[in-house]
Structure 1
Amino acid sequence: MKTLYELLGALPDDDAEALRSAFRRAVKGAHPDLRPGDPDAALKFRQIIRANEILTDAEERDTYDHLLELARVEQASASKRAVATRIHKVASCIIALTGASVASV
């Protein structure tokens, strides 16, 4: 799923002017009148408008940035847990195989 920044083609550390420029480019690129053959154009256009509303309001942007950081931390933790689980499974298999070969010797 794209972040609001990605919807606009902006970066999290962009200032107000950079966000405004990114918004203008994104709106022009997704405007339904300019993309009559794209059935998703209206939805994408509305998403870009909403992303801009959130990111241009200082309080909403701070809240969004905080939630985005929490999501990144959670994703990193989930990845670490998944790796640890895989390592544990591999180690268990190795121990089981080693134990089996020792028992058969």
Structure 2
Amino acid sequence: ARAPRSQYDFVDTVEAGQGLIRSPGHDTLTIARAADRAEDASYVRALQASEQTHMSRMEWQRQSAEDLAATQMMSIHTLEARARADTVEDADSGC
């Protein structure tokens, strides 16, 4: 006769294809590892979100710098055009 299951310190089932007898300790370890993996996955997702936010901010800053440079170049061209026009007017009025 077999002893009652409560006296076993392992589960007497075999994983299909694995051929392993699993103990309660193994199950606890498996659960702990799964929790660690889930925690790690959450951490990785948080890091990826942070990286994406950082990259977006850098892109916005780059675009802002390019916009500022373009605005400054347009101002410079406008000032140069006015200076040329003033020079032509001065030359014309001097004749």
TM category, shorter: 0.5 to 0.7
Aligned to 1:90: 56
Q: Which residues of 2 match residues 67-86 of structure 1 at below 5 A?
A: 67-86=33-52
Runs (4+) of structure 1 moved beyond 4 Å? none
Which amino acid letter does the alignment assign opposite residue 71 of structure 1?
R
* Aligned sequence identity (%): 5
Paired residue secondary structure (1:71): helix
Rounded to whole Å, the distance in 2 between the matches of 1:68 and 1:104 is 53
Q: 2:27 aligns with which of 61, 71, 88?
A: 61
Report deviation, 1:103: 2.0
Change (3 A) 1:62 1:45: closer
In structure 1, stretches of 5+ residues that fail to align are 1-19, 28-43
Figure out how many residues of one structure are paired with residues of the other and give that number: 60
Which one has more relative contact order, counting CA pairs under 8 Å at least 6 apart?
1
Superposition pairs of residues 1-105 of structure 1, within 5 angstroms: 45-47=16-18, 50=20, 53-54=21-22, 57-105=23-71
Q: Which amino acid aligns with 1:84?
A: S
Q: TM-score, normalised by structure 1?
A: 0.49
SS of the residue 1:45 aligns to: coil
- Counterpart secondary structure, 1:91: helix
1:96: Cα distance to partner? 0.4
Match for residue 16 of structure 1? none
